Amino acid sequence: MSSSMNKSQLSQALFEALKGRQGMTKTFAAEIIETIFGVGQRNDVDGAGIAKKTDGIIATHLLSSEGSKVTLPGFGTLRVVFRKGRIGRLPSTGETISIPSTHVVTFRPGKALRIAASKEI
């Protein structure tokens, strides 16, 4: 398996893991992945035929309020944190620039994932 995995490959892996289950198809596996991990996809159409923005379960929860977090036991925790503005420098010119404040998503791996990674790599 390659060192990175996109949503298509993730849905294929889900299908392979569950293909013996009744009702499991490649399309259904892709829908599951999109429902969980999708961010800002314009794939739903409302009653008036206008595409509306939909977010996956994880993104919706993380974006619902400051300090929101999603914990997947054994895997890790995703959290939205506020990063205050600061002064930085452009490495090429040494020019001082202002870096604005922003919200970012952080990930902290769970204990089981850290242990597995230390044994696998």
CATH code of the domain in which 113 resides: 4.10.520.10
Residues with Cβ < 8 Å from 39, sequence gap 6 or more? 55, 56, 59
Residue 2's pLDDT is what? 47
Residues 14 and 66 in one domain: no
Percent residues over pLDDT 70 in the chain: 84
CA distance 78 to 66: 12
Residues 33, 49: one domain?
Answer: no
**Same-domain check for residues 42 and 89:** yes
Read off the pLDDT band of 86 (50, 70, 90): very high
Same domain, 3 and 29: yes
Q: Looking at the structure, do residues 13 and 64 belong to the same domain, yes or no?
A: no
**Cβ–Cβ contacts within 10 Å for residue 27, how many?**
10
Residue type, 38: G
Tell me, yes or no, whether 25 and 59 share the same domain.
no
What confidence score (pLDDT) does residue 52 get?
Answer: 55
Same domain, 11 and 55: no
Tokens of 52: 């509306």
Per-residue model confidence (pLDDT) at position 71: 92
Mean pLDDT of 66-82: 89
Q: Where are the alpha helices (DSSP H) in the chain?
A: 7-18, 26-37, 57-62, 111-120
Block residue for tokens 């300090």:
67
Residues 107 and 67 placed together within one structural domain of the fold? yes
**By mean pLDDT, which of 23-27, 40-44, 57-61, 106-110 is the weakest?**
40-44
Q: Which domain holds residue 21?
A: 1-37
Q: Are residues 15 and 47 in the same domain?
A: no
For residues 103 and 51, membership in a common domain is answered with: yes
Q: pLDDT averaged over the chain? A: 84
| 21-55 confidence digits (pLDDT tens) | 898 999 888 888 888 887 765 555 555 555 555 67
Query: Are 111 and 64 in the same domain?
Result: yes
**Same domain, yes or no: 57 and 111:** yes
- List Cβ neighbours of 53 (8 Å cut-off, separation of 6 or more): 40, 41, 42
> What is the total count of domains within the chain?
2
pLDDT at residue 76, rounded to an integer: 93
Q: What is the pTM of this model?
A: 0.65
